[in-house]
Structure formats: structure tokens, C-alpha cells
């Protein structure tokens, strides 16, 4: 193996090489649409999904192994546990997309393309004759559920037993043009502007497609961006399009050989502008038949399904994703009413199905038995409701405006929620601040009541506010000057998302909560325009700017 460079040498070499690679970009002469076989088109026409689980079980497996240092971590209990919520009665889970290639420095299965650097537990299972990936796929098919492989396009350099490697992947050292230097990860991310990397990735995916009995593969761009040189993502978008074309052609070839369609999905940002910022030309992908399904976003509840649908048409299925580990800021492990609101909005805006990512495998008892994430039982309820507008109808919901922050592991648009409206300062000169709040339910079809809630930082009991919804003034019926929220940290910055999800209330915290009753005539299904302004400050007004932290609508049925 070549002698390891230090970080500065490595990134300097990478930067020069990637500029040379981009400057000599491929001609991409073949841009004609790919003709899809009739059986492929028929499969897509029939394929309906309610809930897709993007099942990240790699770290669960690592924890399970650590629980049994004596080597007694049998596969069967682990397998039963990871299917726990899937197997519950009335589950709406129709598809499992396995996200199990968590080791970025090699393959976690016997591979001829990448070095096999599997964790000790996977090696033990292999010695016992168990290929864990093959068994999970087989168990999925036995349950007659759709089965995909999720390929993280640019994972960080992770050691086989977990934790971050101090040295780059050897392939990054051998091929510096395959690397994009980044501000947040010392070893850089994979660079799809490099033709050699694209060919290597396709070879990896071909091996997976021919090794396992899958229905499809998802290219997961959420882990991580950038995957093109920073500042030139849209300029170099054709390199990613070429990669998608290569994968599509390879999967069509595998499909012909096995006599069954092989579908292709991609996880991309939740807005058209976000896709553009990161170099994903999804409109061209759709026009050239390069993708069947787009998974939209990851940790955002505000997914612009309408604009993406207008751009790509009906031929590509759209399924918004909600990550409840790296959750949208301020709403980790929120109530079932919150989850209903998120997913009901997705369907109201035109989603074909929905995706749950980083959700628990089962109840706290089941999760604890194998080292899975301990999460509230709201997820157990959600798996039986959120995949169908009919099971969401006439149930209490909460709708919220997105918050920024909480995700430092990206250089680009994806995952960061940088364009989210909140927190927002309220002008002290009487100008109103405006926001859009989506609500899935229709007032004329309900006997429900809506309460609009504003949570403010640096406001006092003497400050006065005016609130409007769709131009109608609202009366403030509740003022709580002692309100506390464990997931609001102002004036300190919000911490990074994730972790154990255990938040402590600061007893000294003083937020102002305003609740306003909303008449049935004032709110509407779809986007609602909310305006809030500071009408006056107290007798001894503070010079500090009042900040709107949260804006929510609570829908309650009788």
C-alpha cells in the first residue's frame, strides 16, 4: 500500500486533481432517452407503496456485537428484532430499503470489487454460514415486501467496528482525483466528476445487483454532499447525470439476464432549487428515463412536492422522507399529532408514498435487546397510520413551520435546512413578519378547532403582538410567560441533531407562548399565510430583538 500522505498533502493533491478532472469533462454525447422495456413500465405502473422503511441496521449490528463480546451474538434474535415493527398487525410498511453498507472503507459482504473489511460480528456470521445481507433480503421477500439496496454515494471514512478513521480510504490516496475536499470532513468526499470513480461505483452496484435478490437500488445522495467540486455543482451536473445513466443501463442489463425488472431510485433534496444547488438535474433524469423513484429530502418536514412534480411529470414516483434521528430542528421525538401533520401534508401536496428513515426497529424492549435506538411508542402508532390519507383523516394533527440548523455534516444544500424560515427576528418598527404554514385538512369537511401557537424568545408579558392568518386578525386568548421548551436553546446556538434524543428543560428559560383561536372561515387546506408583528414593547422596552422560535397550528377533532 502506498505510504499515507498527511492531510494537507492529501487535500492539496485532491484539489488539483479534481480541477483537472472537471476541466477535461466527458463529452456526454449520448443524451437520448433510454427506452424502458414494457415489463419495467408495467411494474412501475403497478407498484404502490405506502410506507418505505430505509432500514439503517449497520450500527444496530455493531451494538449487538458489543453486547456479546464472548461471540454469542446469534443472527436469529437480531433478525427477529429488526423486523419487529414491520411484522406488527396493521403495519402499513410495504417496502424495506436496506441501508446496511455503513462501512465506507470496504464491503460488509464477500466482495470481488472492494476489500472485504467486515466487522467482527459479520465475520463470525460468515464463518457460521450466514451472509447477513442475503438473509435480510430473503426475510424481506418471504414477507412479500419490496426490497431495495440503499447505496450511500459518499459516506465518511468509517472503521469496520465503528468510529471515524484517522486515515483516508486507501482508494482516496491512490486516486486523489476521486476526492472533493470539504470543510467538514478531513478526508474529503467522493467526487462524481471523476470518470474512474463512476466506473468503480457502477462495478460495486453491479456486484450487489447480481449477488442479492433485489427489486431495486437507491442511490442515496443524502450521505453526503458535496459529491461534486464545491461552487461548481450545477456547472458539472452532467457528470452525475452520466453516472445515473450508467447505473440505469447496468440494471437494465441485469434485469434482462434475470428476466425481472430492476428499479432505480435516488434520494435528492426536497426542493428543485436544492437539487440544482447540489448538482442533481432531476428534470433531465426524468426526461431521459434514468430514474423510477425520487426520495425527497431527509430531515425536512416542508417538502416541495408540487414544484418537483411540475418539473418531472407523473412518470417518476415522488416519496418524501422524514429522518426521526436527525430530525428537523426542535422536533426530535415529537408527538403523534406532529407526525400525522408531517405525513398528511406530504400526501396533500401530491406524494405517491412516504419514507421513514432512522426510525426505531421496535418497542424500547425489543430495541434494547439488540442495541437499537430507544424511541417513543409514537413510532409504533405512526407505522399504522401515516402511509394512507384515509387512516390520517379526522385525527388530531399538529402543523409547524420548519426550523434551521442542526446538521453540520454537509457542504451544500442537502440536509441542512438552511433556507428554513425559523428562528426569525421580529422587527421593532411595526413591520409584520410573514410565514407559510401548510395544513392538510379542509375546514369545510371537519368539526375541528384550530389553535395557532407562537413561541417567542426575549418577549415579556408587557409586549403586545398582532397575529393574522390569511389576512384575518386573530385574538390572543392565552399568554404563557413561563413557557419552556427543552429543544430551544436560545440565546445559545442549536446543537447538532441526533444523539440519544434526551433533552433537559432549563429551569431559568423564559419563553412567551401565545395561543390564538382560528375560526373555520379563516384557515384553509394547503398553504396558509401567517403574519405576526410587534404592536408595542413594554413600558421599559428592551433593546434586544424578539425572536420567533416556533409557529404551529394545532388541529383538534371533537
Looking at 370, 393, 416, the residue that finishes a domain is 393
Looking at 344, 370, 393, the residue that finishes a domain is 393
Which pLDDT value is given to residue 106?
72
Q: Are 164 and 299 contained in the same domain?
A: yes
Which pLDDT value is given to residue 104?
62
Q: Are 197 and 330 contained in the same domain?
A: yes
> Tell me, what CATH number does 232's domain have?
3.20.20.80
* Residues ≥6 apart with Cβ < 8 Å to 123: none
SS3 content of the chain, % helix, strand, coil (to 5): 30, 20, 50
Q: Are 336 and 477 contained in the same domain?
A: no
Backbone CA torsion sign across 188, 192, 193, 198: positive
Q: Are 369 and 429 contained in the same domain?
A: no
Work out the burial of residue 388: count CB atoms within 10 Å of its CB; fewer than 13 is exposed, 13-18 middle, 19 or more buried: middle
Which pLDDT value is given to residue 547?
97
Domain range enclosing 236: 7-24+38-393
Which pLDDT value is given to residue 212?
96
Q: Are 204 and 282 contained in the same domain?
A: yes
Q: Is residue 296 part of a domain?
A: yes
Q: Are 368 and 440 contained in the same domain?
A: no
Instruction: Classify 493 as helix, strand or coil.
Output: coil
Q: Is residue 33 part of a domain?
A: no
Q: What is the pLDDT of residues 105-128, one digit of tens each?
A: 678 888 899 887 788 999 999 999
Tell me the whole-structure pTM to 2 decimals.
0.94
Residue 1 pLDDT > 80: no
Q: Are 317 and 436 contained in the same domain?
A: no
Q: Is residue 133 part of a domain?
A: yes
Residue 9 pLDDT > 70: no
Q: Are 272 and 357 contained in the same domain?
A: yes
Q: Is residue 49 part of a domain?
A: yes
Which pLDDT value is given to residue 14?
46
- Which helix (H) or strand (E) is 467 found in, with range? strand 464-469
Would you say 157 and 164 are in contact if contact means Cβ atoms under 8 Å apart?
yes
Q: Is residue 385 part of a domain?
A: yes
Q: Is residue 131 part of a domain?
A: yes
27 confidence band (pLDDT: 50, 70, 90) = low
Residue 13's Cβ-side half-sphere holds a number of Cα atoms within 13 Å equal to 15
Q: Are 159 and 242 contained in the same domain?
A: yes
Q: Is residue 2 part of a domain?
A: no
Q: What is the pLDDT of residues 517-537, one digit of tens each?
A: 999 999 999 999 999 999 999
Share of the chain above pLDDT 70, in %: 94
Give the Cα separation of 59 and 371 in Å (integer): 9
In the chain, how many domains are there? Answer: 2
Give the Cα separation of 33 and 36 in Å (integer): 9
Q: Are 88 and 191 contained in the same domain?
A: yes
Task: Quote the mean pLDDT of the chain.
Answer: 92
Would you say 368 and 360 are in contact if contact means Cβ atoms under 8 Å apart?
no
Give the Cα separation of 542 and 524 in Å (integer): 36
List Cα–Cα distances, 486 to 377, 502, 515, in angstroms.
Answer: 20, 9, 19
> Tell me, what CATH number does 449's domain have?
2.60.120
Q: What is the pLDDT of residues 228-277, one digit of tens each?
A: 999 999 999 999 999 999 999 999 999 999 999 999 999 999 999 999 99
Q: Is residue 415 part of a domain?
A: no
Q: Are 450 and 302 contained in the same domain?
A: no
Q: What is the pLDDT of residues 290-335, one digit of tens each?
A: 999 999 999 999 999 999 999 999 999 999 999 999 999 999 999 9
Residue 58 pLDDT > 60: yes
Q: Are 333 and 237 contained in the same domain?
A: yes
Which pLDDT value is given to residue 30?
67
Amino acid at each position: 500500500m502506498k505510504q499515507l500522505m498527511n492531510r494537507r498533502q492529501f487535500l492539496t493533491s485532491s484539489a488539483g486533481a479534481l480541477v483537472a478532472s472537471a476541466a477535461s469533462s466527458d463529452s456526454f454525447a449520448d443524451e437520448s432517452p433510454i427506452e424502458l422495456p414494457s415489463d419495467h413500465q408495467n411494474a412501475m405502473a403497478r407498484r404502490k407503496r405506502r410506507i418505505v422503511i430505509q432500514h439503517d441496521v449497520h450500527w444496530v449490528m455493531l451494538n449487538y456485537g458489543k453486547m456479546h463480546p464472548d461471540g454469542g451474538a446469534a443472527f436469529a434474535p437480531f433478525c427477529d428484532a429488526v423486523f419487529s415493527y414491520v411484522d406488527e398487525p396493521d403495519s402499513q410498511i410495504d417496502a424495506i430499503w436496506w441501508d446496511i453498507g455503513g462501512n465506507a472503507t470496504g464491503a460488509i459482504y464477500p466482495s470481488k470489487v472492494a476489500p472485504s473489511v467486515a466487522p467482527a460480528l459479520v465475520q463470525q456470521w460468515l464463518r457460521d454460514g450466514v451472509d447477513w445481507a442475503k438473509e435480510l433480503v430473503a426475510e424481506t421477500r418471504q414477507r412479500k415486501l419490496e426490497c431495495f439496496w440503499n447505496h450511500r454515494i459518499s459516506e465518511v471514512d468509517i472503521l469496520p467496528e465503528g468510529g471515524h478513521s484517522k486515515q483516508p480510504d486507501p482508494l482516496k490516496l491512490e486516486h486523489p482525483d476521486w476526492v472533493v475536499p470539504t470543510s467538514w470532513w478531513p478526508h474529503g468526499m467522493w467526487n462524481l466528476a471523476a470518470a474512474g470513480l463512476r466506473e468503480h461505483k457502477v462495478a460495486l452496484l453491479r456486484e450487489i445487483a447480481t449477488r442479492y435478490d433485489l427489486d431495486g437500488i437507491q442511490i442515496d445522495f443524502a450521505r453526503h454532499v458535496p459529491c461534486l467540486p464545491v461552487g461548481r455543482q450545477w456547472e458539472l451536473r452532467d457528470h452525475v447525470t452520466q453516472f445515473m445513466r450508467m447505473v440505469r443501463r447496468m440494471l437494465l442489463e441485469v434485469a434482462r439476464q434475470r428476466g425481472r425488472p430492476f428499479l432505480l431510485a435516488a434520494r435528492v433534496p426536497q426542493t428543485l432549487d436544492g437539487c440544482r444547488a447540489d448538482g442533481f438535474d432531476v428534470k433531465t433524469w426524468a426526461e431521459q428515463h434514468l430514474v423510477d423513484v425520487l426520495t425527497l429530502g431527509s430531515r425536512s418536514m416542508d417538502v416541495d412536492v408540487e414544484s418537483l412534480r411540475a418539473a418531472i411529470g407523473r412518470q417518476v414516483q415522488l416519496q418524501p422522507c422524514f429522518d426521526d434521528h436527525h430530525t428537523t430542528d426542535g422536533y426530535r421525538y415529537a408527538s403523534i399529532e406532529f407526525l400525522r401533520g408531517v405525513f398528511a401534508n406530504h400526501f396533500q401536496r401530491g406524494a405517491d408514498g412516504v419514507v421513514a428513515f432512522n426510525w426505531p426497529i421496535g418497542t424500547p424492549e425489543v430495541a434494547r435487546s439488540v442495541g437499537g435506538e430507544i424511541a417513543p411508542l409514537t413510532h409504533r402508532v405512526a407505522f399504522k397510520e401515516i402511509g394512507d390519507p384515509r387512516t390520517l383523516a379526522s385525527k388530531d394533527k399538529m402543523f409547524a413551520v420548519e426550523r434551521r440548523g442542526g446538521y453540520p455534516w454537509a457542504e451544500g444544500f442537502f440536509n441542512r435546512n438552511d433556507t428554513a424560515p425559523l428562528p426569525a427576528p421580529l422587527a421593532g418598527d411595526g413591520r409584520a413578519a410573514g410565514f407559510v404554514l401548510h395544513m392538510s385538512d379542509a375546514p369545510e369537511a371537519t368539526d375541528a378547532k384550530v389553535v395557532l401557537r407562537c413561541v417567542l424568545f426575549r418577549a415579556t408579558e408587557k409586549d403586545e403582538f398582532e397575529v393574522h392568518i390569511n389576512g384575518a386578525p386573530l385574538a390572543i386568548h392565552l399568554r404563557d410567560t413561563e413557557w419552556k421548551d427543552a429543544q430551544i436553546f436560545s440565546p445559545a446556538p442549536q446543537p447538532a441533531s441526533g444523539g440519544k434524543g434526551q433533552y433537559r428543560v432549563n429551569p431559568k428559560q423564559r419563553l412567551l407562548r401565545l395561543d390564538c383561536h382560528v375560526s373555520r372561515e379563516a384557515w384553509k387546506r394547503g398553504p396558509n399565510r401567517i403574519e405576526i408583528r410587534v404592536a408595542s414593547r413594554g413600558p421599559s422596552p428592551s433593546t434586544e430583538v424578539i425572536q420567533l422560535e416556533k409557529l404551529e397550528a394545532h388541529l383538534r377533532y371533537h
